[in-house]
Amino acid sequence: MFFDDRLATVLRQRATGEASQRTQYRQLLDLLGRERVQNPDDDLSLLAAAWLRLEALDESIPAAVRARMIREPGWRFRNPDLAIHFADQEPDVAVAALGRADLSINNWSMLIPRLPVRARGFLRLRRDLPVDIEALLARLGVHDRGLPAPAADPARAPVAEEPPPMPTTPLRAVPLRPVPAADPPSTPAQNRDDTGRTEISALVERIAQFRRTRPDSVQELEHSPRLPLGEMPERAERNVTSFGFAADTSGRIAWALAEVAPMVIGVRLFAAHAGGAEDAEGAALSRAFARRQPITRAEITLAGAPAITGDWIVDAEPRFSEDGHFTGYFGRFRRACDGSSATDPHGPEAREADRIRQLLHELRTPVTAVQGYAEVIQQQLFGPAPHEYRALAAAIAADAARILAGFEELDRLARLETGAIQVDPGETDLAALLRRTSAQLDAALASKDAGFSLELAANAELLVGLDPEDAEALVWRLLASLAAVVSPGERIALRVDPLIGRSGALARLRCELPARLAGESNLFAATTRATESTISPGLFGTGFSLRLARAEARAAGGGLQREDGSLLLTLPLLSGNTSTRGAVEA
C-alpha cells in the first residue's frame, strides 16, 4: 500500500516570507509537473487547491525570479496543463516554461492549437521538437524569425495591434523611415489598393528597410561573425561565468551552450594531470562517475580560450535511458569565488550546515511516511481499526509531528547561522507582545505558583523592526525556554527599556535566569530539560532553543547574550520611535 501525501504536506506549510514562498513554489512545480494519469482515487479538491496556490504565488513572486527557477538545470515537466498555465504569463516565464516542457507527441499535438499565438512563436526557439510537431507549427504559420512592426501611417485607419513574434536572435525594433513619393508633393496620398501593392511587396519592403537600419551591436557581432575587413569594430572579449553542459558515458563534454560549445566540447571532467596522476578532486569526480552518483560542488580547472580558463565548480546529475542504461551526465559549470574556498564561499561552517540540511531532507521522507501511515490507521481511511490501534497510531503521528518540528528548528538554525536566510523586517510592538506572551505562560505556571514579573511602564510602546510572526516566535521561544525549567514558587523578573547603542536605538529585554539555569557554565549548550511541565522548549532542550533564539536575534540586527545571572535580548527599534526618549546609553 502506498500513500502519497506530498501535495497535502506542501499545501499545509505556511508560506509567508519571501524564502518560504519560493520554496513552496519549487515544490508545487515538481509535484504538478509530473505526468498525470487519470486515477479515480485522485483528490480533485486537493489538485484544485494546489493550482489556486500556484496562481497566488505567481502574483507574489516576481516574473524574473519565477523564470530563473523554471530554468534551473535538470528540471523538466511532463504535464501539459502546466504548460498552458505558463503560456499566458510574462514573456520571460512563458519562454522558460515552454523551453522546459518535455511532452509526448500526442500531448504536443493537443497542446499547440490551444496555445496563444505568441506562445507558439516561443516554441520555434527549440531545436529538439519532433519532426511532426515542427510540421504542425509550420502548418499553423509559426516561423523562426519575426520583423519589426511597420510605423503607423496617419493616413490609414487604426488597426488592432498584434503582439510581435519572438525572434530567435535579439533584434531591436527600428521604426521605418517614410519612403519619399515618386509623384509631386501636390499629389494626394494613395492607399494600398489604389497602388496595387500586395502583402508580399510590403513584406519585401520591410525586409529591405530592416537590413538598411540594422545596428551593428556587439551581440549581433557575436552571433554573426565576419572577416575583419576594417569596416566593423573589434569584438570585446567576454569572460564566461557559468554555462550548462552534457557529458557522455566516458566523461567527455558532448554538448554545451552555444557561446562556449567550441571551447569546451571534448573536454573530460576528470582528466589526468601531469605525471599520470589525478588530484583529490579528480579522483572524487572519477569515483562519482563510476558509481553513477550526483556530482555536487566539485572543483575543476579548465584551460584553453581566455573566456573559460580558470577554476570552476561543477554540479551535475546522472542521466539514464528509459530502459535504465547510463547515458552520461548533465549539469552546470560556474566560476569559483576568488579569495575563498571554491567549494564553499562561506567556509567550513556553511559547508557543514549544508550537509546538515541535506541529511534533514533525507530524514524527513521516512518520518513523513510513518506519519501518513499512522494517520491512515487513526482515521480508519481504509477500513475499521480497533480503538487500541487507533490510540497507538495517534501517539505515533504526534511523535512524528514533534520530530518534524525538531527538523524544522535544526534547518532554520543552520540557515540563520550561515546567512542563507534572513528574518523578515516589519513592525511589532514589543511591549504588547511581552504582556500577551507572559500572561499566557503565567496561566500554565499557575499550578506551580510560578510565573513572570514584567516591569514595564503602563503606556510604554517599543516598536521593533521585526515581522510580527517572527517576533512572536522569538519571544515565545525565549520565555518558554525559561518557563520550562522554572521551580515551584519561583518568579522570573523581566525588565524592558530602550537604550542607545553603537548601532542605534535598541530595545533591551533583561530576563532573570531560573535557578536551574543559573549554574550552567555555557547557557547555549545546556542539556536541561523540562520536568513535569506542560511547557516544552523544543525537541532538543533549553540550550538549543536559546541558541536558535540567539541566531534569530542576530539575523534581526540585535543579539542575545548572558550577563551574570540574566539573559539580555536586544532588538533594533524603528527610526522615529517615541519610546526612545529618555533612553539610556549602552
The structure's pTM equals 0.41
**Could you tell me if 43 and 132 lie in one domain?**
yes
Residue 573 within any structural domain of the chain: yes
**Could you tell me if 531 and 436 lie in one domain?**
yes
**Could you tell me if 509 and 441 lie in one domain?**
yes
Q: Which CATH number goes with the domain that contains 296?
A: 3.30.450.20
Residue 203 within any structural domain of the chain: no
Rg, Å, the chain Cα set: 32
Domain boundary among 397, 417, 437: 417
Our count of domains for the chain comes to 4
Cα distance between residue 1 and residue 291, in whole Å: 31
Q: Which of 506, 487, 490, 488 is nearest to 498 (CA)?
A: 506
- Name the β-bridge partners of 465: none
Residue 360 within any structural domain of the chain: yes
Residue 161 within any structural domain of the chain: no
Residue 497 within any structural domain of the chain: yes
**Could you tell me if 579 and 434 lie in one domain?**
yes
Residue 376 within any structural domain of the chain: yes
Q: Which of 269, 350, 366 is nearest to 316 (CA)?
A: 269
**Could you tell me if 445 and 383 lie in one domain?**
no
**Could you tell me if 300 and 379 lie in one domain?**
no
Cα distance between residue 270 and residue 255, in whole Å: 16
Domain boundary among 116, 139, 162: 139
Q: For residue 444, what are the domain limits? A: 428-585
Residue 512 within any structural domain of the chain: yes
- C-alpha distances (whole Å) from 574 to each of 428, 478, 504, 577 are 9, 22, 10, 6
Domain boundary among 124, 139, 154: 139
**Could you tell me if 459 and 412 lie in one domain?**
no
Residue 212 within any structural domain of the chain: no
Per-residue pLDDT of the chain in tens (586 residues, 90 and over written 9): 344 678 888 888 877 788 888 888 888 888 888 766 445 455 678 888 888 888 888 888 999 999 988 888 778 888 888 888 888 888 888 888 888 888 888 888 888 888 887 777 778 777 778 888 888 888 777 665 444 455 555 444 444 444 444 444 443 343 444 444 444 444 444 444 444 456 677 777 777 777 666 554 444 544 455 555 554 444 445 568 888 999 998 889 999 988 888 889 988 887 544 334 445 556 778 888 888 888 888 888 888 888 888 888 888 999 988 888 889 998 999 887 644 433 344 456 666 667 777 777 778 888 888 988 899 898 888 888 889 989 999 999 999 888 888 888 888 888 887 777 777 788 888 888 998 998 988 888 888 888 898 887 655 678 888 888 888 989 988 898 888 888 888 888 998 888 766 656 888 898 998 888 887 878 887 776 665 667 777 778 788 888 888 988 888 888 888 888 888 898 888 865 545 555 555 5
Helix axes 63-70, 91-100, angle to 10 degrees: 10
Q: Which CATH number goes with the domain that contains 440?
A: 3.30.565.10
Q: What letter represents residue 174's amino acid?
A: V
**Could you tell me if 288 and 375 lie in one domain?**
no
**Could you tell me if 449 and 577 lie in one domain?**
yes
Q: Is 123 exposed, middle or buried (0-12, 13-18, 19+ CB in 10 A)?
A: buried
% helix / strand / coil in the chain, to the nearest 5?
45, 15, 40
For the record, the C-alpha cell of 570 comes out as 536586544
**Could you tell me if 579 and 441 lie in one domain?**
yes
**Could you tell me if 549 and 451 lie in one domain?**
yes
**Could you tell me if 301 and 392 lie in one domain?**
no
